[in-house]
Amino acid sequence: MKLEIHKLNSYYGPAHILFDVDISVGTGEVVALLGRNGAGKSTTFRSIVGLVARREGRIVFDGEDITNRPTHEIVRRGLGYVPEDRRIFTELTVEENLMVGAQPARDGAPCWTPEKLYTLFPNLGEMRGRLGGRMSGGEQQMLTIARTLMGNPSLVLLDEPSEGLAPKIVEEMANAILAMKNEGLSIVLSEQNLHFARLISDRAYIIESGRIRFGGTIRELEESPEIRDAYLAV
Amino acid sequence: MEFFVVQFLTGLASAASLFLVASGLSIIFGVTRIVNFAHGAFYMLGAYVAYTLTERFEGFFGFWGGILLAALVVAAIGALLEIVLLRRIYRAPELFQLLATFGVTLMVQDLVVMIWGPEDLVGPRAPGLRGAVDILGLAVPTYDLFLIVLGPLVLGALWILFHRTRWGVLVRAATQDRDMVAALGVNQTWLFTSVFALGIFLAGLGGALQIPRNAVTHLMDLSIIVEVFVVVVIGGLGSVLGAFIAAVLVSELNAFGILVFPKISIVLVFLVMACVLIVRPWGLLGRPEGPARQPAGLSIRPWHPMSPNQRLLMLALVVVAGFVPLVAGNYVLTVLAEIAVFALFAASLHFLMTVGGLASFGHAAYFGLGAYGAAFATTMFGAPMVASLLLGPLLGVAGAILFGWFCVRLSGVYFAMLTLAFAQIAWSIAFQWVEVTGGDNGILGVWPASWASSPAAFYWLALAVSVAGIAALRVLVFSPFGYALRATRDSALRSEAIGIDRARVQWAAFIIAGTFAGIAGALFAFLKGSVFPDNLAIPMSVDGLVMVLLGGIETVSGAVVGAVVYKALAIWLVSQTDLSKLVLGAVIVLLVVAFPKGIVGFAEDLMARRRARTDDGGAALAAPAKAAPAAPGSGAAPIAAPKMEAAR
CB within 8 Å of chain B, chain A residues 148-167: 148, 151
Residue A91, min C-alpha distance to chain B (Å): 8
- Could you tell me the sign of the dihedral formed by the alpha carbons of B508, B509, B510, B515, in that order? positive
How far from B291 is each of A205, B171, B177, B182, CA to CA, in Å? 34, 20, 12, 20
Residues of chain A positioned with their CB less than 8 A from the CB of B639: 14-15
Q: How far apart are the first and last CA of chain B?
A: 65
Residue A55: which pLDDT band, with cuts at 50, 70 and 90? Answer: confident
Does residue B341 share a domain with residue B210? no
Average pLDDT over residues B145-152: 95
Asked if residue B319 belongs to a domain, the reply is no
Among B200, B218, B236, the domain boundary falls at B218
pLDDT tens digits, residue range B295-304? 433 445 678 8
Provide the pLDDT for residue B348: 96
Average pLDDT over residues A212-225: 90
Distance of CA B341 to the CA centre of its chain: 20
Residue B214 has pLDDT above 60, yes or no: yes
pLDDT tens digits, residue range B282-340? 888 887 765 554 443 344 567 888 889 989 999 999 999 999 999 989 999 999 999 99
CB proximity A89 to B under 8 Å: yes
Least confident span in B81-85, B116-120, B451-455: B451-455
Least confident span in A67-71, A200-204, B640-644: B640-644
Residue A18, min C-alpha distance to chain B (Å): 9
State the CATH number of the domain containing residue B416: 1.10.3470
Looking at the structure of chain B, the number of domains it has is 2
Least confident span in A139-143, B182-186, B408-412: B408-412
Could you tell me the residue range of the domain that residue B210 belongs to?
A: 2-218
pLDDT tens digits, residue range B54-69? 999 888 889 999 999 9
Average pLDDT over residues B387-406: 94
Residue B166: which pLDDT band, with cuts at 50, 70 and 90? Answer: very high
Query: Is the Cβ pair B300, A13 closer than 8 Å?
Result: yes
Residue B113 has pLDDT above 80, yes or no: yes
Q: In this predicted model, which residue has the larger pLDDT, B91 or B567? A: B567
Provide the pLDDT for residue B6: 87
Asked if residue B615 belongs to a domain, the reply is no
Does residue B343 share a domain with residue B211? no
How far from B578 is each of A198, B114, B324, B346, CA to CA, in Å? 75, 11, 29, 26
Asked if residue B228 belongs to a domain, the reply is no
Least confident span in A138-152, B78-92, B263-277: B263-277
CA–CA gap between residue B171 and residue B240 (Å, rounded): 13
Provide the pLDDT for residue B549: 85
Does residue B25 share a domain with residue B143? yes
Looking at the structure of chain A, the number of domains it has is 1
Among B188, B218, B248, the domain boundary falls at B218
Please tell me which residue of chain B has the smallest CA distance to A211. Answer: B633
Among B601, B618, B643, the domain boundary falls at B601
Closest CA to B560 of B475, B474, B480: B474
CB A81 within 8 A of CB A151: no
Residue B637 has pLDDT above 50, yes or no: no
Residue A7, min C-alpha distance to chain B (Å): 10
Residue B643 has pLDDT above 60, yes or no: no
DSSP-derived letter for residue B79 is H
Could you tell me the residue range of the domain that residue A11 belongs to?
A: 3-231
CA–CA gap between residue A148 and residue A135 (Å, rounded): 18
Residue B645: which pLDDT band, with cuts at 50, 70 and 90? Answer: very low
Average pLDDT over residues A136-156: 95
Neighbours of B465 (CB within 10 A): 19
Residue B94: which pLDDT band, with cuts at 50, 70 and 90? Answer: low
CB proximity B300 to A under 8 Å: yes
Residues of chain B positioned with their CB less than 8 A from the CB of A11: 297, 628
Q: Between B173, B175, B188, which is nearest A72 by CB?
A: B188
- The whole-chain average pLDDT of chain B stands at 86
Residue type, B539: P
Asked if residue B123 belongs to a domain, the reply is yes
CB proximity A58 to B under 8 Å: no
Residue A194: which pLDDT band, with cuts at 50, 70 and 90? Answer: confident
Please tell me which residue of chain B has the smallest CA distance to A48. Answer: B183
CB proximity A96 to B under 8 Å: yes
Does residue B522 share a domain with residue B393? yes
State the CATH number of the domain containing residue A8: 3.40.50.300
CA–CA gap between residue B555 and residue B599 (Å, rounded): 10
Residue B528: which pLDDT band, with cuts at 50, 70 and 90? Answer: very high
Highest-scoring range by mean pLDDT, A220-234, B84-98, B312-326: B312-326
Residue A223, min C-alpha distance to chain B (Å): 29
Q: Between B166, B183, B297, which is nearest A99 by CB?
A: B166
Provide the pLDDT for residue B369: 96
pLDDT tens digits, residue range B426-484? 998 898 888 889 888 999 988 888 898 899 999 999 999 999 999 999 999 999 999 99
Q: How far apart are the first and last CA of chain A?
A: 33
Asked if residue B265 belongs to a domain, the reply is no
Provide the pLDDT for residue A189: 94
- The whole-chain average pLDDT of chain A stands at 92
CB proximity A178 to B under 8 Å: no
CB proximity A99 to B under 8 Å: yes
Does residue B423 share a domain with residue B572? yes
Asked if residue B299 belongs to a domain, the reply is no
Angle at which helices B412-432 and B265-279 pack, to 10 degrees? 150
Q: In this predicted model, which residue has the larger pLDDT, B230 or B340? A: B340
Q: Between A38, A147, A210, which is nearest B184 by CB?
A: A147
CA–CA gap between residue B100 and residue B83 (Å, rounded): 13
Residue type, B519: I
Q: In this predicted model, which residue has the larger pLDDT, A63 or A53? A: A63
Least confident span in A64-73, B78-87, B171-180, B197-206: B171-180
Residue A137, min C-alpha distance to chain B (Å): 18
CA–CA gap between residue B39 and residue B209 (Å, rounded): 16
Query: Is the Cβ pair B625, A15 closer than 8 Å?
Result: no
